Amino acid sequence: MPEHEVGLNLNYLLWERVNANVGVIIRGKEDIPLFDSTTFLSERYENDGYTTVNLAVDYQVSDSWKIWGRVENLLDEEYTVSGYEAPGRGFYGGIRLDL
C-alpha cells in the first residue's frame, strides 16, 4: 500500500453543450514485492510516488450525438503499477450515438 493516495476530480460545464473534466491522482511511495523467476524469491522494490493528470472534453452535437476526447497521463509521468511500467500519455476519442 502507498504511504498516501489522493484523488481530485473536477467537472465543469463550459457552455451549454461543452463539458470538461480534469482528474488528478497523487500517490505516495510504496514497497512492492517483485518475483525473481531465476531464484524463485521475492525482492522488495520501492516505487517512487507519482502524480497523474487526466483530461476529458465532450461536445453535445444534438440530443443523440456526442463527440468526446480524452488524454490520460497528460504530463507523461513515468511510473510503475505492481512492478510493471505504466503506459505513457494516451489519446482517445470518439463519437457517441444514443438510440
Note down pLDDT in tens along the chain; length 99 residues.
778 999 999 999 988 999 999 999 999 988 877 777 788 777 777 778 899 999 999 999 999 999 999 999 999 998 877 667 888 999 999 999 998
In whole angstroms, what is the distance from residue 52 CA to residue 88 CA?
10
Neighbouring-strand partners of residue 6: 26
Q: What local confidence, expressed as pLDDT, does residue 46 receive?
A: 79
Give the per-residue pLDDT at 82.
Answer: 67
Which pLDDT belongs to residue 83?
A: 66
Amino acid at 15: W
The answer to whether the beta carbons of residues 14 and 21 sit under 8 Å apart is no
